[in-house]
Chains A and B, each alone.
Chain A
Amino acid sequence: MRAFDHKAKYAQLQQLVEDVLAEAGRQGASSAEVAAHSDMGLSATVRLGEPETIEHTRDNSLSISVYMGQHKGTASTAELSAAAIYEAVSAACSIAKQTAEDPFTGLAEAELMATEFPDLELYHPWDIDIEGALEMALECEAAARDYDPRITNSEGATLNTGGAVGVYGNTHGFVHGYPSSRHSLSCSVIAQQDESMQRDYWYTTARSATALDAAADIGERAAQRAIARLNGRKLKTRQAPVLFRAEIAAGLLGSLIHAISGSALYRRATFLLDALDTRIFPDWVNIEENPFVMQGLASAAFDAEGVATSRRKLVSDGILKGYVLSSYSARKLDLQTTGNAGGVRNLSIQMGELDFDALLKTMHTGLVVTELMGQGVNSITGDYSRGASGFWVENGAIQYPVEEITIAGNLKTMFQQLQAVGNDDDYPGSTRTGSWLIESMMIAGE
């Protein structure tokens, strides 16, 4: 992979952001904000022991929002030629002249801009060439295929590596950015036995190559997961406890964040309307956002508007303590931004004492969900209905795999009926949680 000169890139993007802000001023903007991004990467895929695809990625982007008084216009370009940038700035200004006056629009308040920029160790370039990348992917896929004779086919293993630089600036005089890197290794294989064919995958991802799980471990876990699904059965329609495996439970935290986000709140499009300072979980539940995790996949000292991020409790002793706001949604709600333009950063729920096996024993009889399918979440009512597969549990032990079933309930009730959060936090990603045991849901099958 050709070297990515992040320092030169940073200087170039910083200059670009300043130039574009100046150009917006010349075209009549009273204020403006610009984000520029550049990345370079390599993706190497092997399948059935042979190299299959090598992709070199190199993306650039620039987006600009201009304000003419309380009128806003936005444009973006994925090409950084002078002509394209001029076209984008002109388009943004032209749009701002046509949009309606919006008293809530504008940059985030100047006094909220980040002033401290700790090194969060987000940039760890990986000096790996195509041969090295293919070799690691081959080792990963081989570990999966050699794991068990029932692994009969493969969708391959892929190693991704990339570096990026992003710079954000606005007419408060704030112009800051930082380089970051991200590497990942994934494997997807197919298990077959009799008439049953099942696919599953696993992956690892990190800022630094040294933090990736071993290639062979990823392959083996993909194989184990595919084999465990073989010969799944349907269940009879029934009400039962449901244990959401940790990586699936992270999605429930995602639904929570969606429900307490500013845009859902000011549109009154959430089942958690007016829920601030009320109990939405049992009293032992604590949920935190920490933007300052070293090497964190979602770490950042400032948000997409330059606002300083902060470490905070979203849920404390089961009580909702904070919303997830940008400056716009905050003004609509007559509140102050929480520094979440662009999303939440490194969410975690306080984990309990029980490991996965202990959770199975606590549940005694019920369903472990390891995969969900489809959208099936009504964010206004909280109604929840998804396709699922996993395992049926009796006497605290897994009995057999199940598939082609649905689970249904309402998120509001599911949150209240959370019985335990495990300590089995063993999956990749920026959200940290163990598995969630929910008292009862409707399972539909035969």
Chain B
Amino acid sequence: MLEIVEQQLLAPAGLEQRHLDLVLDHLMGHQIDFADVYFQSSRLEAWTLEDGIVKEGVYSIEQGAGIRAISGEKTGFAYTDELQLPNLLEAAGTARAIAHAGQNRTVAIAEGSTGQQLYAATNPLDTLSGSDKIALLHQVEQEARRQDPRVKQVIANLVAAYDMVLVAGSDGVLRSDIRPLVRMNVHVIVEQGDLREQGTAGAGGRTSLDFFRHDERGLELARDAVRQALVNLRAVDAPAGAMPVVLGPGWPGVLLHEAIGHGLEGDFNRKGTSAFAGCMGERVASPLCTVVDDGTLAERRGSLNMDDEGTTTQQTVLIEKGILKSYMQDKHNASLMGVSSTGNGRRESYAHLPMPRMTNTYMLAGEHDPQEIIASVKKGLYAVNFGGGQVDITSGKFVFSASEAYLIENGKVTEPVKGATLIGNGPQVLNLVSMVGNDLELDAGIGVCGKEGQSVPVGVGQPTLKVDELTIGGTV
């Protein structure tokens, strides 16, 4: 793979491996502990159907190199969208100014492989013809309208991205990755008299666009979006206050992402700004909870052959039977904390600095039948779909917004309720998990995580689980 990437990314700018050595040598003045160069070339294409026609297509190009020099806790960073050697050397000179200049050191990089191939190194933009992409969107739209005459508007998007990266580091790393990513979203608006509501569904992964034509996946998204919108039409006001909440499997795993995921990222713990700082080895969840971050799942949206520092991704056990076992680390934070990188060093693009980020974060299956879990609740909420979430990692407070939820009354799922925000405290909430289902599911592949202004694709997942008490932001 390295050869392909060098040919497509470096050769057009007249760059060879020896030039990378030169740039790294230039970066490594004394007092610089570590430096790396990150090359990236991306192409993205998106098509939108609305009002029954595919009215919009967008193509975008992004290419450049980011250059970083680290001295102790200090980082210097510069980037350029011009890949010629003089531009790289200029950026390197700027980045290394973080430490006082000194003698150059010699760096030898060696080609390496990530040792895993979790997705095909193909360009997904080319996996369907233009007319097939447009036909697929029309089929999805027709499927949605076919479901119910109350469907008044269907907006469907099809997105394919092709991302090629190469990392050369002063620790000798020279690795590359080719990362396809596809996504489809369906948004429907339904009307019944004066009432209007909406439903959305999406899916995707690191695969080809054909993914949406297999097993009627695209059509299934249309059906699901309509089903949700119609459920919302008959939803009653959500309750307000603290009560037991049963979370469905899959996407509701956004709970884990917000409540504990961010709090276990290495940078916040090194700096002591996370509510989980200093909790290593302590109980942070009920013994029913084992939570992992796993970047190695084939074709998953959050998966990577290597992270953006060239470290092979892995499965990291964050919480084992309730005990905090590991933080998620990039190279910089790992070295300052005296541990190894867990392959979680990620960045939005060459124009952003890497930091510890999640990949696919999920809870392992437990022993309970999901029906048994619902039956155990006298009065509570059953939430199966969510919008986004947010966390304050210092106070530990987190929210996530239910977009499809039902009341549980006397052990039975009854009426649907309107969307509501759920709020809790990260370090406490997993201690309140009293039942874990045997139905682990991962989400459909549409997650985007934002941190310090940088967005990266992620996955979440969980089995059905019961939290004994969460505060529900309803109106009655």
Contact = CB atoms under 8 A, between A and B. Distances in A.
Given A267-B155, A373-B399, A385-B474, A54 B76 contact: yes
Contact of A78 (B61, B130, B474): B61
Nearest to B73: A52
Contact of B273 (A76, A199, A445): A199
A98 interface: yes
A442 B130 contact: no
B471 A445 contact: yes
Size bracket, chain B contacts:
35 or more
A95 B394 CA distance: 47
A59 B62 contact: no
A405 B240 CA distance: 10
A389 B395 CA distance: 11
Contact of B394 (A92, A98, A197): A197
B473 A51 contact: no
Nearest to A446: B242
B59 A74 contact: yes
A350 interface: no
A155 B355 CA distance: 15
B241 A155 contact: no
Interface string B255-275: 000000000000000011101
Interface in B408-446: 418-425
B189 interface: yes
Given A190-B394, A406-B472, A442-B475, A56 B94 contact: yes
Contacts of B191: 268
A79 B387 CA distance: 34
A55 B77 contact: yes
Interface string A418-446: 00000000000000000000000011111
A102 B53 contact: yes
A303 to B, nearest CB: 19
Given A79-B62, A92-B59, A102-B55, A405 B471 contact: yes
Contacts of A406: 240, 399, 420-423, 471-473
Interface string B60-96: 1111100000000111111111100000000100110
B196 A381 contact: yes
Contact of A80 (B76, B81, B95, B397): B81
Contacts of A59: 81, 351
B384 to A, nearest CB: 17
B407 to A, nearest CB: 15
Interface string B26-69: 00000000000000000000000010011111111111100000
Contacts of B353: 53, 55
B474 A444 contact: yes
A358 interface: no
A102 B95 CA distance: 48
Contacts of B425: 404
Interface of A: 47, 50-60, 72-81, 83-84, 87-88, 91-92, 94-96, 98-102, 105, 130, 153, 155, 190, 196-199, 229, 232, 234, 237, 267-269, 273, 373-376, 378, 380-381, 383, 385-387, 389, 403-410, 442-446
6 contacts: A92-B59, A100-B54, A100-B55, A376-B473, A381-B418, A442-B474
